[in-house]
Amino acid sequence: VWNQNGQRGDEWLRAKIVLKVQQPFQVLIEGVRGAGYEGDIGVDDTSFTPGCQLL
């Protein structure tokens, strides 16, 4: 559904993803670390809107 790669600098970047699905689904967050000291990854403050019913 969404991916991002390449150098993004040294600040957090916001992303918003809208999923229009009418049946149960799972959300999978996967990160692959790059080589060297710039190969960091991070996921922070993941949330779902109030209308999203968790299973």
For residue 12, the model assigns a pLDDT of: 79
Measured between its terminal Cα atoms, the distance across the chain in Å is 20
Residue 52's pLDDT band, with cuts at 50, 70 and 90, is: low
**Every domain of the chain and the residues it spans:** 1-55
Q: Which long-range contacts (CB under 8 A, 24 or more apart) does 6-14 make?
A: 7/38, 12/42, 12/44
Single pTM value for the model: 0.54
Write down the mean pLDDT value for the chain: 79
32 and 41 in contact (C-beta within 8 Å)?
A: yes
CB atoms within 10 A of CB 8: 13
The alpha carbon dihedral of 38, 34, 19, 52 has a sign of negative
For residue 54, the model assigns a pLDDT of: 61
